[in-house]
Amino acid sequence: MPYLFTSESVSEGHPDKVSDQISDALIDNFLAFDPDAKVACETLVTTGQVVLAGEVKSNTYLDVQKIARDVIKRIGYTKSEYMFEAHSCGVLSAIHEQSGDINQGVVRKKKEEQGAGDQGMMFGYASSETENYMPLALDLAHKLLIELAALRRENKQIKYLRPDAKSQVTIEYSDDHKPVRIDTIVISTQHDEFDTDAKMSEKIRRDVINILIPRVKKQLPPALQRLFTGKITYHVNPTGKFVIGGPHGDTGLTGRKIIVDTYGGKGAHGGGAFSGKDPSKVDRSAAYAMRHIAKNLVAAGVCEEVLVQVSYAIGVAKPCGFNVNTYGTARVNLSDAEIAKKVETIFDLRPYAIEQRLKLRNPIYSETAAYGHMGRQNETVTKHFETPEGKKKTVKVELFTWEKLDYVGKLKKAFGIK
């Protein structure tokens, strides 16, 4: 029997994502000047206020106020009527030194023996239903908000948009788990004041359906374009009004959008957030490693869908366990347990090896903090940083290394796939 599956996304102006982006900007600035920095920083944003808290072990001093304000300005909170504005908001820092008890569990004389920064389990997921091996509902939800933000910055076709927004996409699947059509699209976008609420609701709905949707649809391959039928139910700003938003409308915290950040409810999640954590925290680095493995397994033709899990004990380098679930889609004559054994011989899952393989000790995290950490474009960019003392650094870094298909050949050879 056909069934429905739903995923949501939130924009870069959503208060929780504002917090994530500030936390990851701090990570990038620490790593730019001190690649060995150990950082765990949380951000809270509310009306006119930013609070930074966390633990750091680094030889670098940063102007955390400036970093936070720069992020807020880039997102688009630049007007006083938003009640949260880059230049006028207060920024309070309560960042202090990392616990020596934690540090001694991570740092080793031999870097290869580096222990995990915490206990826990991390998951990676991949599916062949989209070109980037992501779940379709989440991929579309992200694309809607990325394009909505582009329209806001262009300020031509739609001129009333404010930074905060959410999307949600419901897909109808057939009995054999193939997407048949889009059932429902929800868009809630913050906006300027209108003369009347009725005029506002009508215009926003019309602009979403006639401007936003065609721009997103145009980006998709023909097979996915066909899912946009005339039977889609649209809920556009269903509360009727969304003028008050962002940190003024809802307090934001780092790490509250972990499902948006990963797979939109598909597969599983270990519970650990990513933003604000340096790669010694396996919540982040091992989750990236699991996505890397899952994506390469599907791309290599080992299976059509897969969930991989790893677990760690704090201070211990070797994982406690590793597991593979292909949901019965394996294309090789092996059990999931046998597939897992082969994968373990190909990927070194010790924390230091993951850091090295995926180049995680670089300032690459600001770009991850909105529109998902997975399914993004692997690319090389040049970034610029400056300390309060005027020390400048320009670095060329590779983003989203865990999205590379660089292990497809090794996996095909290991599994005898031609």
Angle at 209 between CA 141 and CA 263, to 5 degrees: 5
Q: Is 42 one of the annotated binding-site residues?
A: yes
Q: Is 257 one of the annotated binding-site residues?
A: yes
Please name which of 257, 284, 289 lies closest in space to residue 145, comparing C-alpha atoms.
Answer: 257
Strands (E), 231-354: 233-236, 252-253, 305-312, 321-325
Side chain identity, residue 292: H
Q: Is 126 one of the annotated binding-site residues?
A: no
Q: N- to C-terminal Cα distance for the chain?
A: 35
The first and second tokens of residue 120, run together, are 């826990």
Q: Is 30 one of the annotated binding-site residues?
A: no
Angle at 150 between CA 246 and CA 402, to 5 degrees: 90
Q: Is 241 one of the annotated binding-site residues?
A: yes
Q: Is 166 one of the annotated binding-site residues?
A: yes
Q: Is 369 one of the annotated binding-site residues?
A: no
Q: Is 190 one of the annotated binding-site residues?
A: no
Q: Is 250 one of the annotated binding-site residues?
A: yes
Side chain identity, residue 28: D
Q: Is 398 one of the annotated binding-site residues?
A: no
Check if the beta carbon of residue 242 is closer than 8 Å to that of residue 148. no
Q: Is 165 one of the annotated binding-site residues?
A: yes
Strand pairing class (179-191; 233-236): parallel
Q: Is 55 one of the annotated binding-site residues?
A: yes
DSSP code for 302 = S
Q: Is 98 one of the annotated binding-site residues?
A: yes
Please name which of 276, 247, 244 lies closest in space to residue 49, comparing C-alpha atoms.
Answer: 247
Q: Is 197 one of the annotated binding-site residues?
A: no
User: What is the helix, strand, coil percentage profile of the chain, to 5?
Assistant: 35, 25, 40
Q: Is 193 one of the annotated binding-site residues?
A: no
* Known binding-site residue numbers for K(+): 42
* Known binding-site residue numbers: 14, 16, 42, 55, 98, 164-166, 241-242, 250, 256-257, 273, 277, 281
* Known binding-site residue numbers for ATP: 14, 164-166, 241-242, 250, 256-257, 273, 277
* Known binding-site residue numbers for L-methionine: 55, 98, 250, 281
* Known binding-site residue numbers for Mg(2+): 16
